[in-house]
């Protein structure tokens, strides 16, 4: 065995000869930026080898690191261990990112999971009856069809007493929890949005529907790639990785639940309901079901329906018999997060023509035409997450998040108002919009000098032309970056055009755009319209974390769950790869 000494963190890891550094870090749960999942294309997993021998720099390392290879810098995914090494991973250590947990209000209606208290009396000697049947005769509403063994064990605690007050937690399927009433009467639920990049969690009081605490963090799966395609690829290469990815997302969720309960002063054991909304691949991985069938034609998931299971099957740090509800999906690339968001905002019940857009690594789009829903998923790629962008980064401290031109001068704004360390997705869209408006980008996406004041920010090293956002420290947008952004925006634009064609509508007929998700909430709508990500419409509304709002409503309303089922079954999915016109629209959409 070899040893990897991570100097900046003071940890010594064991490794096998022939492993690369990223594999060792992933196995130990150490989070570094690896947007491409370890294929060397993003250049983000930079580490410095301070002592010891690794493989010679590959062509990918030379491309991304250039002269820094002389200082011992390597890409963790390319550096194969030869002997014991000391490394510094501070250059790529995953930083805390703000997670959008603001979603909207949800009200308690008829909850899918209920809690009651009742006094259980032993039957008379002359009655031929079990304690279970006695309880069922005294429970109002639907008669439970099943009891968990833990509920029966709780009922047995009546023992030699003639009567005892119990609390009962039940759902449509039966009695989940039956226990003598304790001093803690809390009746809690947790709504969770599982994103490819982040996970958001909200703790609610199910007795009154009040939100108690919100938490969020980076999805620990991110070390295996920034997008779902990277996750699929890593499972395909090693099927055992599916278990690792499931464990990573569940550990992320459990930490958020414990953090929320600690801040709210609540016991996680009093959580009796959990709802999950995520894209189709994330929901498959959560349940430990291989999503590989989604990655190859005809791109079908193993399941699309909703599922209700017990929390103990997922090893969640809640009451083991809590009801867990998994949102239904529409198709492989239109998941439960989109279903949750559209239902939460009642788009299936609105008149008019609306475009619902969730911009992420997999851009999901829905066209709602007077209640009829057409939807698709587009391979927007991770460019908007900062992947495959020279100085791209996630929305962390120091990321350039906004760019504007005022009186001929470029102004940049960073998260935390600190020195820039890169540019995140919203900053990229703003910067691209400014370049288009200033005429510094030709219709085909080439950087060009046109005599305007910002032209002085164009640099040319003889091979690549760049646009300088910041001189010190240097942050640039390269011609290759613009090409990546062109592909991402063209995928979204072409997907929209296909849906309009399917509905027999024109872009001018769209009444408004609804932007969902963290990214959509911070995009400057004018910038997005300038470069074609969304159409020019009278109204653009950002709705925050719509998926989390849907997950909250599913905790509080049985009727909402029924609506969700109907929406997922009636939505008309359009598979873009099967459409001959998608490529035509895509090539047209590459132009600015």
Q: Are residues 262 and 367 part of one domain?
A: no
Write down the mean pLDDT value for the chain: 90
Residues 489-525 pLDDT 10s: 999 999 999 999 999 999 999 999 999 987 788 899 9
Residues 44-55 pLDDT 10s: 889 999 999 999
Distances in Å between the alpha carbon of 63 and those of 251, 321, 342, 394?
35, 53, 43, 21
Q: Is the pLDDT of residue 14 over 80?
A: yes
Residue 109 lies in a domain: no
Q: How far apart are the first and last CA of the chain?
A: 54
Q: Are residues 519 and 378 part of one domain?
A: yes
Give pLDDT, residue 98. Answer: 59
Angle formed by the axes of helices 425-437 and 479-503, nearest 10°: 90
How many Cβ atoms are within 10 Å of 313's Cβ, its own excluded? 11
Q: Are residues 530 and 384 part of one domain?
A: yes
Q: Are residues 519 and 377 part of one domain?
A: yes
Q: Is the pLDDT of residue 557 over 70?
A: yes
* pTM for the predicted model, two decimal places: 0.88
Q: Are residues 21 and 40 part of one domain?
A: yes
Which two tokens mark 441?
Answer: 């980008």
Q: Are residues 571 and 504 part of one domain?
A: yes
Q: Are residues 210 and 75 part of one domain?
A: no
Q: Are residues 388 and 509 part of one domain?
A: yes
Alpha carbon distance 469, 415 (integer Å): 15
Residues 128-146 pLDDT 10s: 678 888 888 777 656 666 8
Q: Are residues 192 and 138 part of one domain?
A: no
Domain, as residue range, for 37: 2-88
Give pLDDT, residue 44. Answer: 84
Q: Which single residue is written with the structure tokens 């942050």?
A: 475
Alpha carbon distance 96, 417 (integer Å): 16
Q: 3-state class of 273 per DSSP?
A: strand
Q: Name the E strands within 392-462.
A: 399-406, 409-414, 422-423, 458-460
Q: Are residues 199 and 60 part of one domain?
A: no
Residues 392-407 pLDDT 10s: 988 888 899 999 999 8
**Which residue stretches of 504-557 are H helix?**
517-522, 525-531, 546-556
Tally of structural domains, the chain: 4
Q: Flag the least confident range among 111-125, 131-145, 168-182.
A: 131-145
Q: Are residues 446 and 517 part of one domain?
A: yes
């Amino acid at each position: 065995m070899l040893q990897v000494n991570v100097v900046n963190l003071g940890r010594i890891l064991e490794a096998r000869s022939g492993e690369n550094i990223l594999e060792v870090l992933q196995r130990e749960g150490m989070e570094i930026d690896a947007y491409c999942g370890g294929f060397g294309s993003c250049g983000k997993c930079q580490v410095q080898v301070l002592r010891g021998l690794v493989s010679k720099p590959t062509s990918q390392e030379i491309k991304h690191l250039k002269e820094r290879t002389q200082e011992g810098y390597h890409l963790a995914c390319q550096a194969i261990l030869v002997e014991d090494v000391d490394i510094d991973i501070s250059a790529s250590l995953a930083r805390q990112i703000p997670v959008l947990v603001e979603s909207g209000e949800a009200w308690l209606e008829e909850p899918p999971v209920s809690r009651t208290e009742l006094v259980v009396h032993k039957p008379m000697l002359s009655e031929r009856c079990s304690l279970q049947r006695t309880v069922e005769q005294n429970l109002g509403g639907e008669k439970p069809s099943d009891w968990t063994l833990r509920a029966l064990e709780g009922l047995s605690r009546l023992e030699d007493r003639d009567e005892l007050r119990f609390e009962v937690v039940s759902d449509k399927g039966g009695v989940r929890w039956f226990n003598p009433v304790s001093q803690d009467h809390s009746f809690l639920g947790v709504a969770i949005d599982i994103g490819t990049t982040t996970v958001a969690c909200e703790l609610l009081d199910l007795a009154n529907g009040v939100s108690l605490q919100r938490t969020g963090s980076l999805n620990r799966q991110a070390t295996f790639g920034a997008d779902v395609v990277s996750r699929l690829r890593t499972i395909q290469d090693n099927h055992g990785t599916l278990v690792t990815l499931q464990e990573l997302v569940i550990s992320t969720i459990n930490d958020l639940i414990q953090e929320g309960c600690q801040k709210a002063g609540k016991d996680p054991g009093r959580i009796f309901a959990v709802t999950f909304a995520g894209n189709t691949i994330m929901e498959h991985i959560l349940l430990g079901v291989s999503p590989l069938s989604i990655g190859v034609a005809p791109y079908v998931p193993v399941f699309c329906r909703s599922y209700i299971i017990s929390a103990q099957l997922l090893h969640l740090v809640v009451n083991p018999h809590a009801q867990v509800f998994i949102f239904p999906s529409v198709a492989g690339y239109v998941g439960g997060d989109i279903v949750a968001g559209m239902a939460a905002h009642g788009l299936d019940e609105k008149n008019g023509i609306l475009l619902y857009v969730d911009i992420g690594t997999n851009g999901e789009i829905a066209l709602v035409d007077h209640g009829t829903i057409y939807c698709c998923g587009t391979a927007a790629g991770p460019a908007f997450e900062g992947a495959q962008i020279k100085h791209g980064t996630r929305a962390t401290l120091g990321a350039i998040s906004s760019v504007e031109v005022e009186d001929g001068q470029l102004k940049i704004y960073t998260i935390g108002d600190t020195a820039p360390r890169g540019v995140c997705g919203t900053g990229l869209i703003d910067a691209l919009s400014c370049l288009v408006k200033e005429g510094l980008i030709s219709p085909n996406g080439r950087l060009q000098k046109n005599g305007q004041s910002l032209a002085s920010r164009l640099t040319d090293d003889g091979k690549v032309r760049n646009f300088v956002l910041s001189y010190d420290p240097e942050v640039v947008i390269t011609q290759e970056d613009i090409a990546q952004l062109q592909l991402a925006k063209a995928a979204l634009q072409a997907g929209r055009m296909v849906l309009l064609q399917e509905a027999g509508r024109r872009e001018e007929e769209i009444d408004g755009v609804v932007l969902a998700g963290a990214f959509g909430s911070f995009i400057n709508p004018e910038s997005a319209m300038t470069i074609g990500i969304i159409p020019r419409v009278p109204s653009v509304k950002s709705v925050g974390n719509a998926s989390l709002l849907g997950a909250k409503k599913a905790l509080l309303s049985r009727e909402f769950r029924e609506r969700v089922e109907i929406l997922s079954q009636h939505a008309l999915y359009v598979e873009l790869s099967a459409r001959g016109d998608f490529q035509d629209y895509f090539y047209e959409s590459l132009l600015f």
